[in-house]
A and B are shown apart, each in its own frame.
Chain A
Amino acid sequence: MDRAYEIAASVRSGERSAREVIDGYLDNVAARNDELNALLLVSADAARASADAIDAVVAQGKDPGPLAGVPVVLKDNLCQRGVPTTCGSRILEGWKPPYTATVVEAVIAAGGIALGKANLDEFAMGSSTENSAFGPTRNPHDPSRVPGGSSGGSAAAVAAEFAPLALGSDTGGSIRQPAALCGVVGVKPTYGRVSRYGLVAFASSLDQIGPFATSVSDAALLLDAISGHDRRDSTSFADQLIPVAPSLNEGVAGLRVGVIEELTNGEGVAPEVRAAVSAAAAALEAAGAIIEMVSLPSTQFGLSAYYMIAPAEASSNLARYDGVRYGLRVDGDDLSTMNERTRDAGFGAEVKRRIMLGTYALSAGYYDAYYGRAQRVRTLITRDFDRVYENCDVLLSPTSPTTAFKLGDRTADPMAMYQSDVCTIPTNLAGHPAMSLPWGKGADGMPVGVQVLAPALGEPTMFRAARVIEDAAP
């Protein structure tokens, strides 16, 4: 697959036309999207028009930007004015936002071309994209298997060469886990690095938008284009951020790497996954890094804390879907009946489950025991990471305990599905960055991913380590 930065360079120089690039990718989409259901919407006409416009800019001798002519897929919980944004839900079927998300504006301003909207678990709740109201997405490596979730459509799109780049969102692992299952690179930035304005909220204190790509340098290209302060997001970093692309190839000599014991050697981690992490650690060591096992005992409480905090915030964030101002309305004789019928018809089972869980965790008499407690456990987890980062620059662990499972395998038991995120959740709770990169295939022929973690704003170091791992990967 062409690298995004190569495409951008050749479009910028006039060597290739953006139109030719987009046509090629649209052909790929046409060939396999029906089978994979990665994209809910393909903006073919708009994309071609954008490509023509980029070519016109180049013809005038001007620079369209770092993403010149590069097609980018957008997870369908990112708002784009006038373009249907469903969030994988019936309750928003047909809704067209009257405004565009900051990251989407940034992609377009950088010369990128919005190719289409990617399928996701409904409202980003899930780990397999089987919770979409519009059918699951299939893993391009094996269509009988899931692509992971919730950004399964974005991951599959990149893996299937529908676009070199995609944007997803990560609340408990929703970029990294599908990246691992689909054999691509996926990054969750530090909380606050990328604006959330225009990202339909799931859990506000955990959500982050991040890139999918087929290479570490492409991921860096997209991350740098979307990072930065946004005055429309009160939780976005105001200070200048250090871009990750410039230092990418500086290597890892002297870097202190900690392999997380509890996550790597946890029960439920497949042997090939464990082996991949060891091998990645060995590769870093060969390149001059110092490796040691580290213990983060509080990570074992990550799942419990997450499944109190995320649903609680979600239950509040999803209250607005009440049939009054936009989206689905199912009529009723009175307001409450209309609200109830609309939400019952509009939301799928997983979303209802999490709204119920979240509402309960916040309710009178239970707040201190559930939500309140979970937020304090979260502090413990962050402190644990801080302690370990005193002696380590980056950490290593599996991304997903297993390779991609078969469609339908885990839908009967919610807890089984939640286990998919045990390695990724702690970083969301701490607000730290982490990324997944592919490391060969498992016994079943499916991609395996390894996770690199870093402290807050440690992306440059994280990317350097990822680059070395990528070079050594099978």
Chain B
Amino acid sequence: MTPDPVAITRAEVAHVAKLARLGLTADEIDRLTGELAGILIHARDMGELDLTGVEPTTHPLPLVNVVRPDEVEPTLDRDEVLAAAPEVEDNRFRVPRILEAP
């Protein structure tokens, strides 16, 4: 059964923002709580359908076993790659300190 979408709470929205690494302001969180509830309410209608025996569509095409041979091809030019980087040190991408291991 589809849970009641109008029941999405502000706390949940704040949690989802953290999962998505979106640094939302308090106002944005408030606004989004209302907007998401408004959109999710439409998900209710899907809850009424009888989906017994209906498999999910993970791929629209019935393709399987698409593979490529294990052969090396040219890589990108490192300078071109690093030129796009916000911060580089020692030919590597530099990021601020990481507080949590994954």
Contact = CB atoms under 8 A, between A and B. Distances in A.
Q: Are A and B in direct contact (Cβ within 8 Å)?
A: yes
Nearest to A362: B19
A304 B96 contact: no
A335 B96 contact: yes
Interface in B29-47: 32, 35-36, 38-40, 42-43, 45-47
B1 to A, nearest CB: 7
A323 B99 contact: no
Contacts, number: 178
A304 B45 contact: yes
A302 B8 CA distance: 22
B72 interface: no
Interface string A324-358: 11111101111111111101100100001101110
Contact of A341 (B23, B32, B36): B23
A235 interface: yes
B3 A369 contact: yes
A373 interface: yes
A308 B1 CA distance: 16
A332 B96 contact: yes
Interface string A163-192: 000000000000000000000000000011
B99 A334 contact: yes
Interface centre among B54, B55, B99 (most CB of A within 10 A): B54
Interface in A86-123: 95-96, 98-99
B46 A304 contact: yes
Given A356-B22, A380-B54, A366 B3 contact: yes
B57 interface: yes
A389 interface: no
A266 interface: no
B26 interface: no
Contacts of B63: 192, 234-235, 237-238
Interface size grouping (class) on chain B? 35 or more
Interface centre among A315, A328, A376, A415 (most CB of B within 10 A): A376
A68 interface: no
A378 interface: yes
A439 interface: no
B22 A379 contact: no
A237 B51 CA distance: 29
Interface centre among A322, A332, A359 (most CB of B within 10 A): A359
Interface centre among B39, B61, B98 (most CB of A within 10 A): B39
Contacts of A344: 22-25
B11 interface: no
Given A98-B77, A344-B24, A235 B61 contact: yes
B46 A360 contact: no
Given A352-B24, A357-B39, 5 more contacts: A325-B84, A376-B56, A378-B56, A379-B54, A380-B49
Interface of B: 1-3, 8, 12-13, 16-17, 19-25, 28, 32, 35-36, 38-40, 42-43, 45-47, 49, 51, 54-61, 63, 66, 68, 76-77, 80-81, 84-87, 93, 95-100
Interface of A: 95-96, 98-99, 191-192, 205, 231, 234-235, 237-238, 300-301, 303-305, 307-308, 315, 319, 322-329, 331-341, 343-344, 347, 352-353, 355-357, 359-360, 363, 366, 369-370, 372-380, 382, 414-415, 418, 429-431
6 contacts: A235-B63, A335-B98, A338-B95, A338-B96, A363-B16, A375-B57
